[in-house]
Each structure stands twice: as structure tokens, then as C-alpha cells.
A and B are shown apart, each in its own frame.
Chain A
Amino acid sequence: MPTGKHSPANNRPGLEPTPDSPRPSEPDRLPLDRLVPAGWLLGIALTVVSLCVLTLTYDTVRGVFPPPDQAAPVLHAIGLNELALVPSGRPARRPVLTPSPIDWRYGPVLPRQAPEVIPLLKTAPFDTPRAATP
């Protein structure tokens, strides 16, 4: 309990209850303020922050989600230097080669431009050979 100036007012001789003042009821039993829900709010906020910080710290340090280690030996075995992040045929699949001033076709019979996949699929029948470019 606080003491001195901040002790409860009824302990001070100068502020004695007047004879006709009503008897103070027990303050803790009455839901007179919202400090308890405020405490809950604080607790929830603290818990959320702590959980998030702990989880993120643990994950970034230890790596709970599987890292891309399984793909690495396969990439080594097939010997490619590109990833399957973008569908095949898109310029972004092969950023080293596109855009490029060099025409990467192997032969003059092949189309000049590497085929864009979507128009190719939408318009052309599949009974004729298609372009093959690295």
C-alpha cells in the first residue's frame, strides 16, 4: 500500500468522514470501473506481440519451414541455370537470354521470335512442329 501523501484519504486526520457521511461500501466488489477489461486488453496485446516476435525470431533463426534444399541437388543434376518460377516460354523464365540482341534460333527454318506461349496455345493447331529454342 502506498504511504505518506498518497495513502488512502481515510487515513488522514484532516479528512475524517463526517458523522453523517454514509459508510463506504467495499469498493473491490463493485464493477465501478473498466480497469479489469483494460488489463485483459493489455494482456492480449502483450501476448500477441510476444508470440509473434518469438515465432518470427525462431523461424528466421532456425527455419521451421523447409528451406529449398531439396530442389538444389536436382538443379545440379539437370545442369540448368534457370528456375521454374515463371511458366516455360515466358521471357521472364529466362532472364539471361531475354531481351537480347542475339537471335538464339538454331536454324533459319525456325521462327524468328521465340513463340509467346499463350497466343501459340490459343491459335495454332498442334499438328505442325513448333519452335524449339533454348
Chain B
Amino acid sequence: MRHRRYAQFLWAGRELLTHPGATLLMALSMGLLTTMMATGLLLSQALTATTSRLLDQGPDLVVRRVTPNGGQPISSQAADLALKIPGITEARPRIWGTVSTPQAAVTVVAADRDAIARLTITAAIQAPVRGEAVAGSGVHLPETDAHLVLHGTDTITVRITQRFPQETDLATHDLVMLHPDDARRLLGLALDEACDLALAVFHPDEAEALLPELARVFPWPVHIATRQETRKHYATAFGRRGGLAALLYIPAVIALALLTAAVIRQHIGSRSRVGLLKALGWTSRDIVGLQITKAAIVGLPAIAGGLMLAYALVYAPSQTWAGMLLLGWQETAPIMHLDAGFAAPVFLEVAGILLIPYLAAVLWSSLVQAASNPHDLLNRGN
């Protein structure tokens, strides 16, 4: 039985060799289609997974002060108010914002000396002193100078003394870490003011339960963002981009439909061949099996190769194309070390999207022919 099956596989290979050009074209088309579809889906999946994983390291809750005139700086004493609530373990006033440089906008953040001291990454980062800064790999400087001009409510010039490692690009690519005094001056904040308050809670799952109490404890109205909310916003943003990317799939799906139609046409076109095979003692099952085997010999490696290419494109350690093409970076994009842990369902999804209609087209056309009278197939086929 095994021997017979091998022989039939071999014959399917032989039949494919009768049209090597068409076979190769078919495999390439399917491979490229797979790559196109899988790359988009994998990237969206990987960004969502990675964002979620990284955001776990960020604050559980972020409190901002709101007034009828808009957002307002928060007093540094607000942290003490927050810490009175049972369940809140840490309250950190944050000083950060978007400012511009002669080259591009950057995000600045005031260094938290204690937190930086606890950081033990490959290249240890030192908290910057006044007039110095630590910059991400995407912050550009004039070639001969290490000084960066920052325009906020005031303009300051800082010297870049260190760079964040490239492996941390997802968090630091266009980030400039300043001394808190420099950051306050740049952002127009008074000495005891901060932009907002980042909170850590004892039980992250119960963070939302603390919201009413938090809103009550501050003497002014607040807007509180939870981690869940942040995650959801990111997922929605990627989903929206994914939706736009889906427009790109339309030609791909049309191409697939044409490909499938071509397969059907190819099979119906060889009706006399099917009639001959039946006359020579091939059963309908043999013929359907042959056609499915032929389709699988072309389709499976093409889809596997396409998936592999998409996988390499999305997860390769130094990939920056996604940032350049899809996320709006102009010169240098962050190096994306994305989370490959959830790729398997995407593989199955893409394989299903492509393989099922392809095999269904083959199966349907084969069955339709296989059920006909061999005499009719021989005489009415081409």
C-alpha cells in the first residue's frame, strides 16, 4: 500500500514535469501571495503581542489633571495623595513630552535616577546630569557635533553623552532622556510640577476597581488611563492599519481567484485525458487523488516557503522595513525585535485562506469530471 502510494506521488511529479514552466509559475505565484498575506497578518499580530508584552512593564495607571481649559500640570504632592489608597504601591510623577529638534520631533523624558540605577542592561545607562542627555539610536545629530538643540516652551541645548542600545529601540528609538531640571525648563513646568502621575498597583487585574477612589482622592478632576485601555488603543490602531493593509490583499485575493480559475480550467481543459485514464482502469478516486497530489506538490512547498519568507521579513533581528513602509519613519526606523510566540495561528490562518480554496477548486473540478462517463469525456473533451 505504501509502495503504491509512493508510486502515485512519483507519477504526480511526472505529470507536473509535462508543464514545468506553468508548475513553477504557479508555485511562485502562490508563494508570493502567501508572503504578502502572511507578512501583513504576522506584523499586525507581532506588534500587538509585543506591545502588550512591553506595556506590562509600564505603569498600571496614569493620572492626568483635567480642567475646563484642558490638561494641566500636576503637583508633585499628588503622589502622596495617591499612595494613601490601599492597593497603590508606587506613584511616580512623570515629566515628559514631545518637542522638536532641527531634524525631527522627539520625545523627552526626565530621568528617574533610582530607576535608572536599577537598570542592568548590556550597556549600563547613567542618569544624565544637567546639560547632558541620553538619546535613542534614532535621534540625529550634526556629524561634527554631539550637541542637540531642543525646542519646547524654551529652547535648550544638551550634549548627548550616551546612546540607548539598539536592542531597546522599541522603547527608546527617538527618546531623549534629560536631567529633570532640563526637562522642566524645556516643557515649561514649575519646580514642583509634573505632567502626570504614573501609578503601580499591587494587583494589576484589580486596577480598574481603584478608579472611583482615585478620582475622589484628588481635589481636581482627573483623567485616568489604565493599561488595559492603552493596550486596547494600540490594538485598535494596529487593527485599523491592518484594515488598510487588507486593501492590499484585494489584488492578492483576485490573483488567487484567477489562479484557482486557471487550475479549474486546466483540469476541465484536459477532459479527454481524464476520460482516457478512466478507460485505462483508473478509478475516480485514483484521478482525484492524482490531482490533489499534484496540487499539494505545488501548493505545500509554495505556501511553506512563502510563510518562511514572511516570518523572516517580520522577525529578522535587524528588520526596519516595517517602520519605514508602514509606520511613518523617514530616515531610520526602529529595529523591531518582535515577539514570535504567537505566530503559529497566523500560519494556520494564511495556509487555510490560500490552501482551502485552491484544493477545493482542484477537488471540485476533479470530482465533476470523475463522475462523468469516460466515453463522453473522451469524445467531448479537447
A85 CB to closest chain B CB, in angstroms?
A: 6
**Contact B305 A45, beta carbon cutoff 8 Å:** no
**Contact B174 A72, beta carbon cutoff 8 Å:** no
Q: Which of the segments B7-15, B204-212, B246-254, B355-363 contacts the partner chain?
A: B7-15
A39, A81, A103 pick with most chain B CB within 10 angstroms: A81
B-contact bits for A18-30, CB 8 A (1 contact / 0 none): 0000000000000
A-contact bits for B85-120, CB 8 A (1 contact / 0 none): 000000010101111101111110101100110111
**Contact A48 B304, beta carbon cutoff 8 Å:** yes
If the complex has contacts A96-B230, A134-B195, are A60 and B174 also in contact, measured as CB distance less than 8 A? Answer: no
A selection of 12 A-B contacts at a CB cut-off of 8 Å is A52-B304, A59-B315, A67-B341, A71-B170, A81-B55, A81-B230, A88-B174, A96-B233, A107-B153, A130-B152, A132-B99, A132-B152
Bound: A20/B305 CA distance, A? 55
**Contact A79 B58, beta carbon cutoff 8 Å:** yes
- 4 nearest A-B pairs in the assembled complex, by CB-CB distance: A103-B70, A38-B13, A95-B233, A89-B105
A128 CB to closest chain B CB, in angstroms?
A: 8
B188 near A: Cβ within 8 Å?
yes
B237 near A: Cβ within 8 Å?
yes
If the complex has contacts A71-B337, A74-B164, A95-B236, are A48 and B301 also in contact, measured as CB distance less than 8 A? Answer: yes
Bound: A72/B98 CA distance, A? 21
**Contact A49 B69, beta carbon cutoff 8 Å:** no
| Residues of chain A contacted by B70 (CB below 8 angstroms) | 102-105
| Residues of chain B contacted by A107 (CB below 8 angstroms) | 153, 188
B37 near A: Cβ within 8 Å?
no
B100, B149, B152, B334 pick with most chain A CB within 10 angstroms: B100
| Residues of chain A contacted by B181 (CB below 8 angstroms) | none
Bound: A130/B22 CA distance, A? 60
**Contact B337 A130, beta carbon cutoff 8 Å:** no
**Contact B304 A49, beta carbon cutoff 8 Å:** yes
Name the residue on A nearest B177 (C-beta): A78
**Contact B116 A77, beta carbon cutoff 8 Å:** yes
B189 near A: Cβ within 8 Å?
yes
Chain B contact residues, CB within 8 Å of chain A: 9-14, 16-17, 47, 50-51, 53-59, 62, 64, 66, 69-73, 92, 94, 96-100, 102-107, 109, 111-112, 115-116, 118-122, 125, 136, 138, 149, 151-155, 164-165, 167-175, 177, 186-189, 195-196, 198, 223, 225, 227, 229-230, 233-234, 236-237, 297, 300-301, 304-305, 307-308, 311, 315-317, 323, 327-330, 334, 337-341, 343-344, 347
A110 near B: Cβ within 8 Å?
yes
| Residues of chain A contacted by B151 (CB below 8 angstroms) | 126, 128-130
| Residues of chain A contacted by B120 (CB below 8 angstroms) | 73
Total interface residues on A, CB under 8 Å, equals 70
**Contact A132 B54, beta carbon cutoff 8 Å:** no
B-contact bits for A97-132, CB 8 A (1 contact / 0 none): 000001111111110001101001100001011111
Chain A contact residues, CB within 8 Å of chain B: 33-35, 37-39, 41-42, 44-45, 48-49, 52-53, 55-56, 59-60, 63, 65-68, 70-90, 92-93, 95-96, 102-110, 114-115, 117, 120-121, 126, 128-134
A100 CB to closest chain B CB, in angstroms?
A: 8
Q: Choose from A38, A102, A131 the contact partner of B10 (Cβ within 8 Å).
A: A38
**Contact A106 B116, beta carbon cutoff 8 Å:** no
**Contact B340 A60, beta carbon cutoff 8 Å:** yes
A59-B343, A80-B109 are known contacts; what are 12 more A-B pairs with Cβ within 8 Å?
A67-B341, A73-B121, A75-B58, A76-B115, A79-B198, A87-B330, A89-B100, A95-B234, A106-B72, A115-B105, A117-B104, A130-B151
| Residues of chain B contacted by A90 (CB below 8 angstroms) | 328
**Contact B105 A120, beta carbon cutoff 8 Å:** yes
| Residues of chain A contacted by B229 (CB below 8 angstroms) | 96
A68, A77, A78, A134 pick with most chain B CB within 10 angstroms: A78
| Residues of chain B contacted by A75 (CB below 8 angstroms) | 54, 57-58, 171
